[in-house]
Chain A
Amino acid sequence: MTTLPARRSGETTIRVVFVLTFLVTAFLIVTPLASLLYGSFQTGGPGAPSTFTLKNWGDLASRALVHTLFMTCFISVVTSVFSTAGGAAMAWLVYRSDFRYKRSLVAAVGLSFFFPGFILGMAWVILGSPGGVFNDILEHLFGPDVIRFDIYSATGIIWIQVLHILPFAFFTIRGPLISMDSSLEEAAYASGATPWQVVCRVTVPLMIFPVMSSLLLCFVLSVEQFAIPAMVGIPGHVHTLATELYLLTSFSPTNTGLAAAVGLSMSAVTGLSIFAQRRIVHRRMAPTVTGRGYRVRELSLGRWRWVATAACVFYVLMSFIIPALSLIYTSAIKFFVANPFEAAWTFRNYVQLWDNPGTLRAFWNTVLVAGGGAVLGLTLGVLVAYSTHRLKPRGHRALDILACLPFGIPGIVIGLGFLWSYVYLPIYGTLWVLVFCYVARFLPYATETVGAQVVQLDRALEEAAWASGANRIASFRRIVLPLLRPALQSGYFLLFIAYFREIAAAALLYTASTQVLSISIWAFFENANWGVASALSVITTIITVALMGAVMRAPLKL
């Protein structure tokens, strides 16, 4: 008796869906990377006559670029260490100590989390530039030129980035901390350990993997940062790889080939870090229990409570409240003066926004790209997550790796990749380029959010649908999708926010007709039109925070 492989009609459906998903994903992610690789060996820019060369890769070793590489790593390592230390300390305060203002702190950190980086950067330029608010105050207090505060420096970049990235570390570390089996700590108390001994000998060693994971992620976030080093570093002649790439691409003499080589090197750094981080995550982050909601013993802070409170208040002031106030202030005065008592108040900045067709257009573009694009991004994310976590047909591992790649590729590099590849496509110069680029860049956001819930979904729920007579598509539509709804909602808004405030990729890809809000703000700012830039920032921030507050309560909860 010879055995034939049994044919299943359902397999065909799966195969077709999987192959389509794979092709779209590969097209979105491989094309820009391949074009970058191609471009790094070309003498001319995209669309220009050009020949093969190795010069770009040779130029990478130039003193200036090596120095930039070191500067990027230095800034990122310091940023990462401070962000993780601060984030871990705050997570510990909230989840392991008797800190008084836990709810407020989590809410405040959440606010900072959603505060767009380029707006924070702009606010800090207003605050910390030589003619800015802080120096004005210092001058009044101590007289001219005694103490000065220069935001246009590596320290300035680090300062703003730490403020911006710290919430990320907080949210990375708090998950494992919450789900850590608290009986491990209780066993230590029962063995006679003092609270500090428990922290040092049990909590910290158990949290070592989550902390390492946070260090690597924050490092990557910092390397990827474009807007902050651009606003603060370029005037101060402190360059990072991201700003260097931007300068090489956008200011003559342009050298897109060299930019491609820089971008690929950057991706190598971030990609390796992400790879290491994933290895750590896969090696079980910390011993956990599920379903047991024991309240952990809270460690009494005693006299240190005031220090902890002061530090947290300081952080919240610096990362959100003061920058937000300074923007509101700047948006409401006629000409920038550091002293509010000398200011001439006005609404004209907001009125000007309304009267400016360019801004309205940018607003409309942003709504289209973020609102509509997120639908496409989420759809692809669902298909990828469902394929890699549930269907697992042949080739699903390749798809998984493919979909994870953008995690390790900085936004500005993907932007450059799209610049290189889409010049040749008819959609060049339309909003579609931005949409495609964002879908690719933020695909991991969608796949991670949806995937986490797909994994949780009891397989039997779907099998019960088949046993009841529903075919694959019907059971997916009637059972799987409704059960994934919470993940779909949060995934959609996560993507919406990400697309809404993305600036790095947009900086390379926008054209006059495809300008988006983030670019408009930046353009006003670069033209020294701080008032209008601030007004637009205030509006953008309100939209972002309101959306997140309304829909994504989860990250803000205790």
Chain B
Amino acid sequence: MGISVRNLVKRFGDKTIIDGISLDIADGELVSLLGPSGCGKTTTLRCIAGLETPEEGRIEIDGEVVFDSASGIMVEPYNRSIGMVFQSYAIWPHLTVFENVAFPLRVRRRPNAEVEQKVVRALEMVGLGAFRDRSSQQLSGGQQQRVAVARAIVHAPAVLLFDEPLSNLDAKLRDRTRAELRKLQRDLHVATVYVTHDQAEALSLSDRILVMSEGRILQQGTPEDIYHAPTDSFVADVVGAANFLAVEFRGQGLDGIRAVTRDGAPVRASTGSVPPGPGTIMIRPDKLRLEPAGPSQENRLPGTIRQRLFLGGHFEYLVEVGADTVRVISVVLMQEGAPVLVAFDAVDCVALAGAGAAVS
């Protein structure tokens, strides 16, 4: 039955932090809350956990109403069937690894044999089988994270809540742990909310991504949807590097939307539907190609290379195209200051209403 949230509102003082969020998460589904720092992801998660009391709305966990402002229901966190991994991990320093993980079972007064068996299994699932009698103060960051995960899953909760569980790990460890977390969640088949501000994490882990901004959900969908067909320049920017071209839309044709840049160059985009008028076209940096200078054609815009950065496997160019600057990923070596044609395909262009963010 997973999680169901309806019209959640949370205020701190007179600041509205969560502004009417609704979401549904099915059993076994992993949903990411993605958004910049301060947009209310953690607060949403804490409302689901019962660590914050929302002002309005209704929350159900596993079919049970745990919060309902209309009928004044507020179930305490300890009476909700949740497992939670905190950003700081919150490993209790006075307890051993074993006792940290055993805690949810101990407070539920499970018999010792069951505790033993379940804790051992949870520790093995996170790869800490050999660490059971360690003091929790002798753990590295990665090990603490694993203990926190084991503690969250040991009592087989109906939902799992993760608050940026990888943000305190170094880059290499983060990539490895990401894959392990995904497998773990698949095996457990439990509804999971995963809070992160890292697009790579959200894209690779999620069944579904909810992009948040200022306490609202801007767009939700599968990672592919969100990445390739954002409906909003903010969303486009949050889920990956994006270039924005300011254009004037001319209208919908059979083969996509036609538009012209401010310099009058024609552009065609086959994703998105926008009424005629000023707007933005979004293209990912790896979908742009650099070609030798030549006359401007449709989806081939003249530009000048302003900066080249060598990034190992490829170059990253900043190219001035009319009044816009775009970022281009390319393996072709070109000189700074050289005139080029920036080429792209209509299928890679997303038409968006409103102005886009400038490439810095």
Q: Which residues of A contact B (CB under 8 A)?
A: 1-10, 458, 460-461, 463-471, 474-475, 478-479, 482-483, 485
Is B51 a contact partner of A463 (Cβ separation < 8 A)?
A: yes
Query: Using a Cβ cutoff of 8 Å, how many contacts connect chains A and B?
Result: 95
Report which of A4, A9, A458 forms a contact with B90, defined as CB distance below 8 A: A458
Residues on B with C-beta less than 8 A from A9 are 76, 79
Residues on A with C-beta less than 8 A from B94 are 482-483, 485
CA distance A5 to B78 in the complex (A): 20
Interchain residue pairs with CB less than 8 A apart (22): A3-B56, A6-B73, A6-B74, A8-B53, A8-B74, A460-B88, A463-B51, A464-B84, A464-B92, A464-B151, A467-B51, A467-B84, A468-B83, A468-B104, A469-B104, A469-B107, A470-B78, A471-B76, A474-B78, A479-B92, A482-B94, A483-B93
Q: Closest Cβ of chain B: how far from A16's Cβ, in Å?
A: 15
Is A467 a contact partner of B72 (Cβ separation < 8 A)?
A: no
Is A469 a contact partner of B108 (Cβ separation < 8 A)?
A: yes
| Across the A-B interface, the 8 shortest Cβ-Cβ residue pairs | A6-B74, A4-B72, A464-B90, A460-B90, A468-B104, A467-B84, A466-B77, A470-B107
Chain A facing B: main interface SS = helix
CA distance A1 to B58 in the complex (A): 12
Q: Closest Cβ of chain B: how far from A65's Cβ, in Å?
A: 51
Report which of A3, A7, A471, A485 forms a contact with B70, defined as CB distance below 8 A: A3
Residues on A with C-beta less than 8 A from B96 are none
CA distance A483 to B92 in the complex (A): 8
Asked whether B55 is an interface residue with its Cβ less than 8 Å from the other chain, the reply is yes
Q: Which residues of B contact A (CB under 8 A)?
A: 49-51, 53, 55-56, 67-74, 76-79, 82-84, 86-88, 90, 92-94, 103-104, 107-108, 148, 151-152, 155, 161
Q: Please name 20 further chain A to chain B contacts, defined as beta carbons within 8 Å, in addition to the given A6-B67, A470-B103, sorted by A numbering.
A: A4-B70, A6-B68, A7-B72, A8-B53, A10-B76, A458-B90, A460-B86, A463-B86, A464-B86, A464-B151, A465-B92, A465-B103, A466-B50, A466-B77, A467-B49, A467-B84, A468-B78, A468-B155, A469-B107, A471-B107
Report which of B70, B78, B108 forms a contact with A466, defined as CB distance below 8 A: B78
Residues on A with C-beta less than 8 A from B72 are 4-7
Residues on B with C-beta less than 8 A from A465 are 78, 92, 103, 107
Known A-B contacts A468-B103, A483-B92; A463 and B77 likewise in contact (beta carbons under 8 Å) = yes
Residues on A with C-beta less than 8 A from B161 are 467
Q: Closest Cβ of chain B: how far from A291's Cβ, in Å?
A: 15
Most buried by B among A465, A468, A479: A468
CA distance A485 to B82 in the complex (A): 29
Chain A, residue nearest B88 (CB): A460
Q: Closest Cβ of chain A: how far from B297's Cβ, in Å?
A: 58
Is B90 a contact partner of A466 (Cβ separation < 8 A)?
A: no
Residues on B with C-beta less than 8 A from A461 are 90, 92
Report which of A458, A468, A475, A483 forms a contact with B151, defined as CB distance below 8 A: A468
Residues on B with C-beta less than 8 A from A4 are 69-72
Most buried by B among A4, A461, A469, A483: A469
Residues on A with C-beta less than 8 A from B70 are 1-4
Q: Closest Cβ of chain A: how far from B234's Cβ, in Å?
A: 30
Residues on B with C-beta less than 8 A from A6 are 53, 67-69, 72-74
Residues on A with C-beta less than 8 A from B152 are 467
CA distance A252 to B50 in the complex (A): 65
CA distance A467 to B104 in the complex (A): 8
Residues on A with C-beta less than 8 A from B49 are 463, 467
Residues on A with C-beta less than 8 A from B88 are 458, 460
Q: Closest Cβ of chain A: how far from B298's Cβ, in Å?
A: 53
CA distance A485 to B93 in the complex (A): 12
Chain A, residue nearest B106 (CB): A478
Most buried by B among A2, A5, A467, A485: A467
Residues on A with C-beta less than 8 A from B103 are 465, 468, 470, 478
Most buried by B among A10, A464, A470, A471: A464
CA distance A355 to B182 in the complex (A): 78
Chain A, residue nearest B108 (CB): A469
CA distance A3 to B8 in the complex (A): 13
Is B67 a contact partner of A463 (Cβ separation < 8 A)?
A: no
Known A-B contacts A467-B49, A471-B76; A3 and B55 likewise in contact (beta carbons under 8 Å) = yes
Residues on A with C-beta less than 8 A from B78 are 10, 465-471, 474-475
